[in-house]
Structure 1
Amino acid sequence: MNTTETVDVSGAPVMLDCQNVTRTYSEGPEDLTVLNSLSLQVRAGERVAIVGSSGSGKTTLLNLLGGLDSPTQGRIVIADEPLSGLGEAALGRFRNRYIGFVYQFHHLLAEFTALENAALPLIIRGQRKRDAEARAQALLDRVGMADRAQHKPGELSGGERQRVAIARALVTDPSLVLMDEPTGNLDQTTAATILALMDELARESACAFVIVTHDPALAAHQDRVLKLDGGHLVTNP
Protein backbone atom coordinates (compact mmCIF):
# COMPACT_ATOMS: atom_id res chain seq x y z
CA MET A 1 0.00 0.00 0.00
CA ASN A 2 1.33 3.38 -0.91
CA THR A 3 0.85 6.63 0.93
CA THR A 4 -1.58 9.11 -0.54
CA GLU A 5 -1.72 12.85 -0.77
CA THR A 6 -3.18 14.59 2.24
CA VAL A 7 -6.63 16.01 1.57
CA ASP A 8 -7.16 19.65 2.51
CA VAL A 9 -10.23 19.63 4.76
CA SER A 10 -9.42 22.83 6.65
CA GLY A 11 -12.62 24.50 5.48
CA ALA A 12 -14.86 21.46 5.91
CA PRO A 13 -17.40 21.23 8.74
CA VAL A 14 -16.43 19.33 11.88
CA MET A 15 -18.07 15.90 11.72
CA LEU A 16 -16.75 14.54 15.01
CA ASP A 17 -15.93 16.64 18.08
CA CYS A 18 -14.69 15.05 21.32
CA GLN A 19 -13.98 17.38 24.20
CA ASN A 20 -12.18 16.26 27.37
CA VAL A 21 -13.45 12.68 27.16
CA THR A 22 -12.52 10.47 30.10
CA ARG A 23 -13.44 6.81 30.56
CA THR A 24 -12.83 5.24 33.94
CA TYR A 25 -13.65 1.67 35.00
CA SER A 26 -13.99 0.39 38.55
CA GLU A 27 -11.37 -2.30 39.09
CA GLY A 28 -11.55 -3.58 42.66
CA PRO A 29 -10.50 -0.97 45.21
CA GLU A 30 -9.05 1.35 42.57
CA ASP A 31 -10.42 2.98 39.43
CA LEU A 32 -8.73 2.37 36.08
CA THR A 33 -8.68 5.40 33.77
CA VAL A 34 -8.29 4.24 30.16
CA LEU A 35 -8.92 7.60 28.45
CA ASN A 36 -8.00 10.82 30.23
CA SER A 37 -9.39 14.21 29.10
CA LEU A 38 -9.00 13.19 25.45
CA SER A 39 -9.99 15.68 22.75
CA LEU A 40 -10.32 15.06 19.00
CA GLN A 41 -11.85 16.83 16.02
CA VAL A 42 -12.35 15.16 12.63
CA ARG A 43 -13.68 17.12 9.68
CA ALA A 44 -15.92 15.90 6.87
CA GLY A 45 -13.85 14.06 4.28
CA GLU A 46 -10.91 13.56 6.65
CA ARG A 47 -9.34 10.18 7.35
CA VAL A 48 -7.66 9.80 10.74
CA ALA A 49 -5.69 6.75 11.83
CA ILE A 50 -5.21 5.97 15.52
CA VAL A 51 -2.32 3.75 16.52
CA GLY A 52 -1.09 2.56 19.90
CA SER A 53 -0.02 -0.49 21.83
CA SER A 54 -2.45 -3.25 22.77
CA GLY A 55 -4.44 -2.20 25.83
CA SER A 56 -3.94 1.51 25.21
CA GLY A 57 -7.70 2.12 24.83
CA LYS A 58 -8.16 2.23 21.07
CA THR A 59 -11.21 -0.03 21.01
CA THR A 60 -12.63 1.75 24.06
CA LEU A 61 -12.37 5.01 22.13
CA LEU A 62 -14.14 3.55 19.10
CA ASN A 63 -16.95 2.23 21.29
CA LEU A 64 -17.42 5.70 22.79
CA LEU A 65 -17.41 7.36 19.37
CA GLY A 66 -19.99 4.87 18.13
CA GLY A 67 -22.28 5.39 21.10
CA LEU A 68 -21.78 1.80 22.25
CA ASP A 69 -20.42 3.07 25.55
CA SER A 70 -20.68 6.38 27.42
CA PRO A 71 -17.80 8.53 28.71
CA THR A 72 -17.36 9.00 32.43
CA GLN A 73 -16.78 12.67 31.69
CA GLY A 74 -16.62 14.83 28.58
CA ARG A 75 -18.69 15.39 25.47
CA ILE A 76 -18.92 13.66 22.09
CA VAL A 77 -20.72 15.43 19.23
CA ILE A 78 -21.28 13.85 15.81
CA ALA A 79 -22.85 15.78 12.93
CA ASP A 80 -23.75 18.54 15.43
CA GLU A 81 -25.64 16.07 17.66
CA PRO A 82 -24.38 15.50 21.24
CA LEU A 83 -24.56 11.76 21.92
CA SER A 84 -25.30 12.37 25.59
CA GLY A 85 -28.63 13.94 24.67
CA LEU A 86 -29.96 10.79 23.01
CA GLY A 87 -31.92 8.03 24.68
CA GLU A 88 -31.25 4.40 23.77
CA ALA A 89 -33.84 4.21 20.97
CA ALA A 90 -32.84 7.58 19.53
CA LEU A 91 -29.18 6.60 19.73
CA GLY A 92 -29.89 3.45 17.73
CA ARG A 93 -31.63 5.49 15.03
CA PHE A 94 -28.79 8.00 15.04
CA ARG A 95 -26.16 5.28 14.58
CA ASN A 96 -28.15 3.80 11.72
CA ARG A 97 -28.32 7.17 9.98
CA TYR A 98 -24.90 8.67 10.61
CA ILE A 99 -22.38 6.02 11.71
CA GLY A 100 -20.86 3.00 9.99
CA PHE A 101 -18.87 0.56 12.11
CA VAL A 102 -16.40 -2.08 10.92
CA TYR A 103 -15.61 -4.40 13.80
CA GLN A 104 -12.39 -6.38 14.01
CA PHE A 105 -14.30 -9.68 14.10
CA HIS A 106 -17.04 -8.98 11.54
CA HIS A 107 -20.19 -9.65 13.65
CA LEU A 108 -22.12 -10.91 10.62
CA LEU A 109 -25.37 -12.81 11.19
CA ALA A 110 -24.69 -16.47 10.46
CA GLU A 111 -28.17 -17.27 9.11
CA PHE A 112 -28.11 -14.46 6.52
CA THR A 113 -26.32 -14.33 3.19
CA ALA A 114 -23.60 -11.78 2.47
CA LEU A 115 -26.15 -9.72 0.55
CA GLU A 116 -28.68 -9.82 3.38
CA ASN A 117 -26.04 -8.89 5.94
CA ALA A 118 -24.89 -5.93 3.88
CA ALA A 119 -28.46 -4.75 3.26
CA LEU A 120 -29.61 -5.12 6.88
CA PRO A 121 -28.95 -1.52 8.07
CA LEU A 122 -31.15 -0.16 5.28
CA ILE A 123 -33.90 -2.69 5.98
CA ILE A 124 -33.80 -1.73 9.67
CA ARG A 125 -34.20 1.87 8.54
CA GLY A 126 -37.38 0.89 6.73
CA GLN A 127 -36.18 0.83 3.15
CA ARG A 128 -37.80 -1.66 0.78
CA LYS A 129 -35.88 -4.94 0.62
CA ARG A 130 -35.45 -4.71 -3.14
CA ASP A 131 -33.89 -1.24 -2.94
CA ALA A 132 -31.77 -2.12 0.09
CA GLU A 133 -30.37 -5.20 -1.60
CA ALA A 134 -29.66 -3.30 -4.81
CA ARG A 135 -27.56 -0.79 -2.87
CA ALA A 136 -25.87 -3.61 -0.93
CA GLN A 137 -25.09 -5.50 -4.13
CA ALA A 138 -23.45 -2.42 -5.62
CA LEU A 139 -21.14 -2.15 -2.60
CA LEU A 140 -20.38 -5.86 -2.58
CA ASP A 141 -19.36 -5.44 -6.21
CA ARG A 142 -16.99 -2.61 -5.24
CA VAL A 143 -15.29 -4.68 -2.53
CA GLY A 144 -14.85 -7.67 -4.86
CA MET A 145 -17.65 -9.83 -3.49
CA ALA A 146 -20.05 -9.82 -6.45
CA ASP A 147 -19.89 -13.58 -6.93
CA ARG A 148 -20.19 -14.39 -3.20
CA ALA A 149 -23.31 -12.38 -2.40
CA GLN A 150 -25.52 -15.45 -1.87
CA HIS A 151 -23.07 -17.22 0.44
CA LYS A 152 -23.51 -17.26 4.20
CA PRO A 153 -20.67 -16.21 6.54
CA GLY A 154 -19.77 -19.83 7.34
CA GLU A 155 -19.02 -20.35 3.65
CA LEU A 156 -16.70 -17.33 3.42
CA SER A 157 -13.07 -16.85 4.37
CA GLY A 158 -12.09 -14.37 7.08
CA GLY A 159 -11.07 -11.83 4.47
CA GLU A 160 -14.35 -12.26 2.59
CA ARG A 161 -16.36 -11.78 5.77
CA GLN A 162 -14.41 -8.59 6.45
CA ARG A 163 -15.26 -7.26 3.00
CA VAL A 164 -18.95 -7.93 3.65
CA ALA A 165 -18.65 -6.08 6.97
CA ILE A 166 -17.10 -3.11 5.17
CA ALA A 167 -19.93 -3.07 2.62
CA ARG A 168 -22.46 -3.20 5.47
CA ALA A 169 -20.80 -0.23 7.19
CA LEU A 170 -20.89 1.86 4.03
CA VAL A 171 -24.35 0.90 2.75
CA THR A 172 -26.17 3.73 4.55
CA ASP A 173 -23.89 6.49 3.21
CA PRO A 174 -22.82 7.38 6.77
CA SER A 175 -21.26 10.67 7.81
CA LEU A 176 -18.69 8.92 10.01
CA VAL A 177 -17.14 5.47 9.60
CA LEU A 178 -15.34 3.84 12.53
CA MET A 179 -12.99 0.99 11.64
CA ASP A 180 -11.24 -1.45 13.98
CA GLU A 181 -8.35 -3.10 12.07
CA PRO A 182 -10.32 -3.06 8.80
CA THR A 183 -7.64 -4.68 6.63
CA GLY A 184 -6.26 -7.13 9.19
CA ASN A 185 -7.67 -10.20 7.39
CA LEU A 186 -7.21 -8.97 3.82
CA ASP A 187 -4.51 -9.73 1.30
CA GLN A 188 -2.53 -6.81 -0.07
CA THR A 189 -4.51 -6.52 -3.32
CA THR A 190 -7.90 -6.53 -1.58
CA ALA A 191 -6.65 -4.11 1.08
CA ALA A 192 -5.60 -1.71 -1.67
CA THR A 193 -9.11 -1.98 -3.18
CA ILE A 194 -10.68 -1.10 0.18
CA LEU A 195 -8.36 1.87 0.62
CA ALA A 196 -9.26 3.14 -2.85
CA LEU A 197 -12.96 2.86 -1.96
CA MET A 198 -12.37 4.82 1.25
CA ASP A 199 -10.57 7.50 -0.77
CA GLU A 200 -13.50 7.77 -3.17
CA LEU A 201 -16.06 8.05 -0.38
CA ALA A 202 -14.04 10.70 1.42
CA ARG A 203 -13.97 12.76 -1.78
CA GLU A 204 -17.48 12.04 -3.08
CA SER A 205 -19.60 12.15 0.07
CA ALA A 206 -17.35 13.94 2.58
CA CYS A 207 -17.52 10.88 4.81
CA ALA A 208 -15.10 11.05 7.75
CA PHE A 209 -13.09 8.00 8.82
CA VAL A 210 -11.53 7.09 12.16
CA ILE A 211 -9.42 3.96 11.80
CA VAL A 212 -7.75 2.01 14.59
CA THR A 213 -4.87 -0.07 13.28
CA HIS A 214 -1.55 -1.73 14.01
CA ASP A 215 -0.69 -1.63 10.29
CA PRO A 216 1.86 1.16 9.58
CA ALA A 217 1.05 1.11 5.86
CA LEU A 218 -2.68 1.57 6.48
CA ALA A 219 -1.99 4.37 8.97
CA ALA A 220 0.36 6.15 6.57
CA HIS A 221 -2.36 6.13 3.90
CA GLN A 222 -4.59 8.39 6.00
CA ASP A 223 -4.61 12.19 6.22
CA ARG A 224 -3.54 12.20 9.87
CA VAL A 225 -1.99 9.69 12.24
CA LEU A 226 -2.48 10.01 16.01
CA LYS A 227 -1.08 7.82 18.75
CA LEU A 228 -3.06 6.87 21.84
CA ASP A 229 -0.64 6.96 24.74
CA GLY A 230 -1.41 7.28 28.44
CA GLY A 231 -5.06 8.01 27.71
CA HIS A 232 -4.22 10.96 25.44
CA LEU A 233 -3.99 11.40 21.68
CA VAL A 234 -0.69 12.79 20.39
CA THR A 235 0.59 13.39 16.88
CA ASN A 236 2.44 10.27 15.74
CA PRO A 237 6.07 11.07 14.92
Structure 2
Amino acid sequence: MNKCVINKEVLRCIDVHKTYQEGPEDVTVLQGVELSVRSGERVAIVGSSGSGKTTLLNMLGGLDLPSKGEIQVGGETLAQLGERKRDQMRNRKLGFVYQFHHLLSEFTASENVAMPLLIRGVSRTEAQQSAETMLTRVGLGQRAQHKPAELSGGERQRVAIARALVTDPACVLMDEPTGNLDQTTAQHIQQMIVELAQGAGTGFVIVTHDLALARQQDRILQLNQGRLEALAL
Protein backbone atom coordinates (compact mmCIF):
# COMPACT_ATOMS: atom_id res chain seq x y z
CA MET A 1 0.00 0.00 0.00
CA ASN A 2 1.12 3.54 -0.56
CA LYS A 3 -0.10 5.43 2.49
CA CYS A 4 2.44 4.43 5.12
CA VAL A 5 4.06 7.84 5.36
CA ILE A 6 4.60 8.57 9.04
CA ASN A 7 2.57 11.55 10.28
CA LYS A 8 1.24 12.49 6.87
CA GLU A 9 -1.85 14.64 7.35
CA VAL A 10 -4.83 12.99 5.65
CA LEU A 11 -7.69 15.19 6.84
CA ARG A 12 -7.95 18.68 8.29
CA CYS A 13 -10.61 21.14 9.49
CA ILE A 14 -9.71 24.82 9.74
CA ASP A 15 -12.09 27.10 11.70
CA VAL A 16 -15.15 25.20 10.47
CA HIS A 17 -18.59 26.65 11.16
CA LYS A 18 -22.00 25.32 10.17
CA THR A 19 -25.23 27.28 10.44
CA TYR A 20 -28.69 26.22 9.31
CA GLN A 21 -31.69 28.44 8.83
CA GLU A 22 -34.85 27.24 10.55
CA GLY A 23 -37.62 29.67 9.66
CA PRO A 24 -36.49 33.14 10.71
CA GLU A 25 -33.80 31.74 13.02
CA ASP A 26 -30.17 30.89 12.29
CA VAL A 27 -29.13 27.77 14.21
CA THR A 28 -25.38 27.32 14.67
CA VAL A 29 -24.37 23.66 14.93
CA LEU A 30 -20.58 23.93 14.63
CA GLN A 31 -18.35 26.88 15.43
CA GLY A 32 -14.62 27.12 15.03
CA VAL A 33 -13.96 23.37 14.70
CA GLU A 34 -10.27 22.53 14.34
CA LEU A 35 -9.15 18.99 13.56
CA SER A 36 -6.11 17.28 12.09
CA VAL A 37 -5.93 13.54 11.42
CA ARG A 38 -2.69 11.87 10.36
CA SER A 39 -2.00 8.59 8.64
CA GLY A 40 -2.43 5.64 10.96
CA GLU A 41 -4.13 7.76 13.63
CA ARG A 42 -7.42 6.74 15.26
CA VAL A 43 -9.54 9.66 16.49
CA ALA A 44 -12.80 9.19 18.39
CA ILE A 45 -15.43 11.94 18.48
CA VAL A 46 -18.04 11.80 21.23
CA GLY A 47 -20.89 14.09 22.20
CA SER A 48 -24.52 14.13 23.23
CA SER A 49 -27.34 13.53 20.76
CA GLY A 50 -27.89 16.64 18.68
CA SER A 51 -24.39 17.99 19.34
CA GLY A 52 -23.53 17.98 15.63
CA LYS A 53 -21.49 14.78 15.32
CA THR A 54 -23.31 13.56 12.20
CA THR A 55 -23.20 17.05 10.69
CA LEU A 56 -19.44 17.13 11.18
CA LEU A 57 -18.98 13.63 9.76
CA ASN A 58 -21.03 14.52 6.67
CA MET A 59 -18.84 17.56 6.08
CA LEU A 60 -15.63 15.58 6.59
CA GLY A 61 -16.92 13.27 3.86
CA GLY A 62 -17.80 16.10 1.50
CA LEU A 63 -21.52 15.33 1.68
CA ASP A 64 -22.14 18.83 3.03
CA LEU A 65 -20.03 21.98 3.01
CA PRO A 66 -19.22 24.33 5.88
CA SER A 67 -20.80 27.76 6.16
CA LYS A 68 -17.33 29.09 6.96
CA GLY A 69 -13.85 27.62 7.15
CA GLU A 70 -12.09 24.84 5.24
CA ILE A 71 -12.09 21.06 5.18
CA GLN A 72 -9.13 19.47 3.43
CA VAL A 73 -8.73 15.84 2.41
CA GLY A 74 -5.26 14.89 1.26
CA GLY A 75 -4.44 18.59 0.98
CA GLU A 76 -7.42 19.38 -1.27
CA THR A 77 -10.03 21.87 -0.05
CA LEU A 78 -13.46 20.28 -0.57
CA ALA A 79 -15.33 23.53 -1.19
CA GLN A 80 -13.00 24.30 -4.10
CA LEU A 81 -13.97 21.10 -5.90
CA GLY A 82 -17.04 20.79 -8.09
CA GLU A 83 -19.61 18.16 -7.17
CA ARG A 84 -18.22 15.60 -9.63
CA LYS A 85 -14.66 16.02 -8.36
CA ARG A 86 -15.87 15.74 -4.76
CA ASP A 87 -17.55 12.46 -5.70
CA GLN A 88 -14.28 11.23 -7.22
CA MET A 89 -12.33 12.34 -4.16
CA ARG A 90 -14.73 10.45 -1.86
CA ASN A 91 -14.31 7.32 -3.94
CA ARG A 92 -10.51 7.52 -4.01
CA LYS A 93 -9.51 8.96 -0.64
CA LEU A 94 -12.28 8.19 1.85
CA GLY A 95 -14.09 5.14 3.18
CA PHE A 96 -17.39 5.17 5.06
CA VAL A 97 -18.79 2.76 7.67
CA TYR A 98 -22.19 3.36 9.24
CA GLN A 99 -24.03 1.87 12.21
CA PHE A 100 -26.46 0.30 9.77
CA HIS A 101 -24.13 -1.22 7.22
CA HIS A 102 -26.18 -0.22 4.14
CA LEU A 103 -25.25 -3.34 2.20
CA LEU A 104 -27.24 -4.09 -0.95
CA SER A 105 -29.40 -7.09 -0.07
CA GLU A 106 -29.58 -8.54 -3.58
CA PHE A 107 -25.79 -8.77 -3.95
CA THR A 108 -23.27 -11.11 -2.34
CA ALA A 109 -20.67 -9.92 0.15
CA SER A 110 -18.07 -9.97 -2.61
CA GLU A 111 -20.26 -7.95 -4.97
CA ASN A 112 -21.00 -5.39 -2.24
CA VAL A 113 -17.31 -4.92 -1.53
CA ALA A 114 -16.45 -4.67 -5.24
CA MET A 115 -19.03 -1.92 -5.84
CA PRO A 116 -16.79 1.13 -5.12
CA LEU A 117 -14.16 -0.22 -7.52
CA LEU A 118 -16.73 -0.81 -10.24
CA ILE A 119 -17.96 2.77 -9.77
CA ARG A 120 -14.36 3.90 -10.20
CA GLY A 121 -14.16 2.04 -13.52
CA VAL A 122 -12.05 -0.94 -12.46
CA SER A 123 -12.74 -4.09 -14.50
CA ARG A 124 -15.18 -6.58 -12.98
CA THR A 125 -12.51 -9.28 -12.75
CA GLU A 126 -10.02 -7.04 -10.96
CA ALA A 127 -12.72 -5.62 -8.68
CA GLN A 128 -13.86 -9.12 -7.66
CA GLN A 129 -10.29 -10.21 -6.96
CA SER A 130 -9.67 -7.14 -4.78
CA ALA A 131 -12.99 -7.65 -2.99
CA GLU A 132 -12.24 -11.27 -2.17
CA THR A 133 -8.74 -10.37 -0.97
CA MET A 134 -10.18 -7.73 1.35
CA LEU A 135 -12.87 -10.08 2.65
CA THR A 136 -10.17 -12.60 3.48
CA ARG A 137 -8.28 -9.87 5.30
CA VAL A 138 -11.29 -9.14 7.54
CA GLY A 139 -11.82 -12.86 8.17
CA LEU A 140 -14.70 -13.46 5.78
CA GLY A 141 -13.02 -15.19 2.85
CA GLN A 142 -15.31 -18.20 3.26
CA ARG A 143 -18.43 -15.99 3.27
CA ALA A 144 -17.73 -14.04 0.06
CA GLN A 145 -20.64 -15.58 -1.87
CA HIS A 146 -23.22 -15.13 0.89
CA LYS A 147 -25.82 -12.39 0.75
CA PRO A 148 -26.32 -10.01 3.71
CA ALA A 149 -29.39 -11.89 4.99
CA GLU A 150 -27.21 -14.98 5.39
CA LEU A 151 -24.64 -13.16 7.55
CA SER A 152 -24.64 -12.23 11.24
CA GLY A 153 -24.64 -8.59 12.35
CA GLY A 154 -20.92 -8.70 13.03
CA GLU A 155 -20.22 -10.29 9.66
CA ARG A 156 -22.29 -7.65 7.86
CA GLN A 157 -20.35 -4.92 9.63
CA ARG A 158 -17.06 -6.53 8.60
CA VAL A 159 -18.31 -6.60 4.99
CA ALA A 160 -19.05 -2.87 5.32
CA ILE A 161 -15.52 -2.30 6.63
CA ALA A 162 -14.07 -4.32 3.75
CA ARG A 163 -16.10 -2.20 1.32
CA ALA A 164 -14.77 0.98 2.93
CA LEU A 165 -11.19 -0.23 2.69
CA VAL A 166 -11.13 -1.86 -0.74
CA THR A 167 -10.30 1.44 -2.44
CA ASP A 168 -7.21 1.88 -0.21
CA PRO A 169 -8.51 5.15 1.31
CA ALA A 170 -6.37 7.62 3.21
CA CYS A 171 -9.03 7.97 5.89
CA VAL A 172 -12.11 6.02 6.99
CA LEU A 173 -15.10 7.80 8.57
CA MET A 174 -17.11 5.60 10.92
CA ASP A 175 -20.52 6.49 12.39
CA GLU A 176 -21.37 4.31 15.43
CA PRO A 177 -19.62 1.28 13.85
CA THR A 178 -20.27 -0.99 16.85
CA GLY A 179 -23.66 0.41 17.86
CA ASN A 180 -25.62 -2.75 17.03
CA LEU A 181 -22.97 -5.33 17.96
CA ASP A 182 -22.41 -7.42 21.05
CA GLN A 183 -19.33 -6.71 23.16
CA THR A 184 -17.23 -9.56 21.77
CA THR A 185 -17.93 -8.64 18.13
CA ALA A 186 -17.36 -4.94 18.89
CA GLN A 187 -13.94 -5.83 20.29
CA HIS A 188 -13.11 -7.78 17.13
CA ILE A 189 -14.01 -4.71 15.08
CA GLN A 190 -11.74 -2.58 17.29
CA GLN A 191 -8.85 -5.01 16.83
CA MET A 192 -9.36 -4.81 13.07
CA ILE A 193 -9.27 -0.99 13.20
CA VAL A 194 -5.97 -1.07 15.10
CA GLU A 195 -4.43 -3.56 12.67
CA LEU A 196 -5.47 -1.51 9.64
CA ALA A 197 -4.26 1.74 11.15
CA GLN A 198 -0.88 0.24 12.01
CA GLY A 199 -0.45 -1.97 8.96
CA ALA A 200 -1.86 0.19 6.18
CA GLY A 201 -1.44 3.67 7.61
CA THR A 202 -5.18 4.33 7.33
CA GLY A 203 -6.52 7.22 9.39
CA PHE A 204 -9.80 6.70 11.23
CA VAL A 205 -12.40 9.16 12.52
CA ILE A 206 -14.89 7.28 14.69
CA VAL A 207 -18.07 8.97 15.89
CA THR A 208 -19.50 7.00 18.79
CA HIS A 209 -21.58 7.06 21.96
CA ASP A 210 -19.55 4.09 23.21
CA LEU A 211 -16.94 5.48 25.63
CA ALA A 212 -15.30 2.06 25.91
CA LEU A 213 -14.68 2.10 22.15
CA ALA A 214 -13.60 5.76 22.25
CA ARG A 215 -11.02 5.10 24.99
CA GLN A 216 -9.30 2.52 22.79
CA GLN A 217 -8.45 5.10 20.12
CA ASP A 218 -5.38 7.35 20.02
CA ARG A 219 -7.34 10.48 20.88
CA ILE A 220 -10.83 11.36 22.11
CA LEU A 221 -12.46 14.65 21.13
CA GLN A 222 -15.78 15.83 22.51
CA LEU A 223 -18.16 17.97 20.51
CA ASN A 224 -19.56 20.46 23.01
CA GLN A 225 -21.59 23.55 22.09
CA GLY A 226 -20.31 23.36 18.53
CA ARG A 227 -16.63 23.06 19.40
CA LEU A 228 -14.23 20.12 19.54
CA GLU A 229 -12.42 19.71 22.86
CA ALA A 230 -9.78 17.13 23.78
CA LEU A 231 -10.69 14.58 26.45
CA ALA A 232 -8.21 12.60 28.53
CA LEU A 233 -8.05 8.91 27.64
Same fold by TM-score greater than 0.5: yes
Inter-partner Cα distance in structure 2 for 1:154 and 1:26: 41
Inter-partner Cα distance in structure 1 for 2:195 and 2:154: 21
Matches within 5 A, 1:211-222: 211-222=206-217
Which sits farther off after the overlay, 129-138 or 209-218? 129-138
**Structure 2: runs of 5 or more not aligned:** 1-5
Inter-partner Cα distance in structure 2 for 1:63 and 1:140: 26
The verdict on how the C-alpha distance between 1:143 and 1:188 changes in structure 2, with shifts beyond 3 A counting, is farther
**Structure 1: runs of 5 or more not aligned:** 1-10
Q: Residue in 2 aligned with 1:164?
A: 159
Contact 1:162 1:185 in 2 (8 A): no
The counterpart of 2:83, out of the listed 84, 88, 108, is: 88
Amino acid at match of 1:187: D
The counterpart of 1:208, out of the listed 195, 203, 210, is: 203
Q: Residue in 2 aligned with 1:39?
A: 34
Matches within 5 A, 1:74-85: 74-85=69-80
Pairwise CA distance, 1:45: 1.2
The counterpart of 1:49, out of the listed 44, 47, 72, is: 44
Question: Deviation per CA, 1:6-50, whole angstroms, max 9, x where unpaired?
Answer: xxxxx6122111011111111111111111111111111111000
Pairwise CA distance, 1:211: 0.3
Inter-partner Cα distance in structure 1 for 2:94 and 2:122: 17
Pairwise CA distance, 1:215: 1.0
- Across the aligned residues of Structure 1 and Structure 2, the Cα RMSD in angstroms comes to 1.7
Amino acid at match of 2:13: C
Matches within 5 A, 1:11-50: 12-50=7-45
Contact 1:142 1:197 in 2 (8 A): no
Pairwise CA distance, 1:223: 0.4
Asked if 1:125 corresponds to 2:120, the answer is yes
Inter-partner Cα distance in structure 2 for 1:203 and 1:144: 17
Pairwise CA distance, 1:105: 1.7
Amino acid at match of 2:48: S
Amino acid at match of 2:222: K
Contact 1:122 1:172 in 2 (8 A): yes
Matches within 5 A, 1:132-211: 132-211=127-206
- SS at 2:159 equivalent: helix
Amino acid at match of 1:46: E
Inter-partner Cα distance in structure 2 for 1:20 and 1:227: 16
Pairwise CA distance, 1:139: 2.2
Which sits farther off after the overlay, 105-114 or 174-183? 105-114
Matches within 5 A, 1:92-131: 92-131=87-126
- SS at 1:64 equivalent: helix
TM-score (structure 2 length as normaliser): 0.92
Inter-partner Cα distance in structure 1 for 2:30 and 2:140: 37
Q: Residue in 2 aligned with 1:232?
A: 227
Inter-partner Cα distance in structure 2 for 1:190 and 1:173: 24
Pairwise CA distance, 1:187: 2.8
- SS at 1:15 equivalent: strand
The percentage of counterpart residues that share the same residue type is: 62
Pairwise CA distance, 1:204: 2.4
Inter-partner Cα distance in structure 2 for 1:188 and 1:139: 24
- SS at 1:133 equivalent: helix
Pairwise CA distance, 1:67: 0.3
Amino acid at match of 1:135: S
Aligned residues: 228
- SS at 1:121 equivalent: helix
